[in-house]
Structure 1
């Protein structure tokens, strides 16, 4: 039996993880494959059972990790362009890990000596990650814990790096995530988040113009195209203008499109000394390309496209700004926060 298999079959968590939590860890369940262990905080009401139906029908889980290369590229780009220095064997606290494709797996590839605490509210998603880790011989380097990462269960100032791939914009109060990251980090430690920004407002303007032009031309769009544009307009409007205290806002899954100012001010208020933002996209055909991606994802169809005059409207937004200017209107970006040394 390998060291990883022995650890994952143990009734105790890895020794390096035991001191990272304010309460003892208890085994929540055996995952969908042998040796896939998920943990919970003793006495924490968050943790629930992993259903027998899930365990029986977990199926082939490796396909989930096909997206890891994309997110690994985002981490690499962020580290390289911002000149970040990360310890060779960092201790990492990951917030909202899910099945780990967006953060845990990329960080294993980038930091071969890393040890990671994977957290999520879903025990079933963590069971998929635990199964993957066991299969890859990584169970001794990751512990999967069902918990609210915004809470205060982890020990203060223990981690070199906090990661969160698309987590803050799901929170009613993103400052809770920033505060949790600041608590967890050692002095001088860094947090890396990937988040959406209010530069999507330009996509809303482009879509509104396309719909208006279709009416003026008396040239109706394909109904499926028009529906996606209207849905995107509504979604962008809700995430930039909605009353944050309303029931409608509470019911949204994707809640925020952040402004630079909001994140910079909030992060400093939460104790971070340095805030850096990096746009992920500013290429020459940005708005056309984003529109095609949203059309495909929103419709679930591969063959839909825009008429030539609508493409020209999208291209006019690209022509209106130099590529560097687009950074100021970014739609997706990295948020890198450094705690005071």
Structure 2
């Protein structure tokens, strides 16, 4: 079966498509509810003790920039993504915001990163594991490159709960096109244990928008460009779905939501 998830193939996409993805990733920074989740799990981490941080699958670096802005954090971040285009976009935005001196950008595969053992105090996989072909490899390498006593933090959506209302058929098409592992977080306690990491904290959120859309607007606006490329639906089908959802938001009849979880683990000393 071919690997459909466009977010897991960003190094293989044309310039127009990767531009749509970059815009979508950056749009998350404008959602107060989304950023509150990010800040919520960062608060659970001892950032003062994290001098060297690795961000796997960083995309354009929304979470990296937010981490660097945290008053407790005085260290540096190595930001890794498989897409050279997204790394370039991340470098550009970080420079515009005056954060370039604290972030080292690197093109690498999070499933097999060419990084030394026990090199980082904190490893973050933020909205990554739902998109890669082999998420267990990411966790094993995170456990390898984090120092004894260090922290591994995973944050992602539980896309098995994703819905845009009563049309379950289109929900499933969206999941098939954009999410390689829609239920990966339900396996995460076992994957962490198998990698000899100790789960020490977890958080959960339901991001639901009823009446009007905010966070979901960015996703909807990207669907017309992304979904037809995978073959799960025709351009006409996707355009009609998006137009109906945007109209519902304008009319105050929108419904959309799914769950997010963060899990924080420690590598034994």
TM-score of the superposed pair, with normalisation by structure 2: 0.68
Task: Select the residue among 195, 199, 205 that pairs with 2:156.
Answer: 195
Whose relative contact order is higher, 1 or 2, with alpha carbons under 8 Å and at least 6 apart? 2
Quick one: structure 1 residues 307 and 132, their matched pair in 2 at CA, closer, same or farther if it must change by over 3 Å? closer
2: distance between equivalents of 1:123 and 1:167? 16
Task: Select the residue among 248, 265, 269 that pairs with 1:304.
Answer: 248
2:191 matched to 1:231? Answer: no
Bigger share in strand: 2
Task: Select the residue among 41, 58, 68 that pairs with 1:78.
Answer: 41
CA apart distance, 1:64: 6.7
1: distance between equivalents of 2:154 and 2:178? 18
Quick one: structure 1 residues 145 and 306, their matched pair in 2 at CA, closer, same or farther if it must change by over 3 Å? closer
Conserved? CA contact 2:159–2:179, under 8 Å: no
Gaps of 5+ in 1: 1-47, 208-225, 239-251, 315-329
**SS in structure 2 opposite 1:200?**
strand
Task: Select the residue among 235, 245, 265 that pairs with 1:337.
Answer: 265
Quick one: structure 1 residues 69 and 339, their matched pair in 2 at CA, closer, same or farther if it must change by over 3 Å? farther
Conserved? CA contact 2:78–2:103, under 8 Å: yes
Quick one: structure 1 residues 151 and 230, their matched pair in 2 at CA, closer, same or farther if it must change by over 3 Å? same
Q: Which entry has the higher C-alpha Rg, 1 or 2?
A: 1
What is the root-mean-square deviation in Å for CA atoms of aligned residues? Answer: 4.0
TM-score of the superposed pair, with normalisation by structure 1: 0.55
2: distance between equivalents of 1:72 and 1:100? 13
Conserved? CA contact 1:272–1:340, under 8 Å: yes
Alignment of 1:80-159 (within 5 A): 80=43, 83-87=44-48, 90-101=51-62, 103-110=63-70, 111-159=72-120
Task: Select the residue among 138, 145, 164 that pairs with 1:184.
Answer: 145
CA apart distance, 1:307: 10
2:197 matched to 1:272? Answer: yes
Alignment of 1:6-45 (within 5 A): none
CA shift digits 1:169-201 (9 cap, x unpaired):
111221011011111111121122221226517
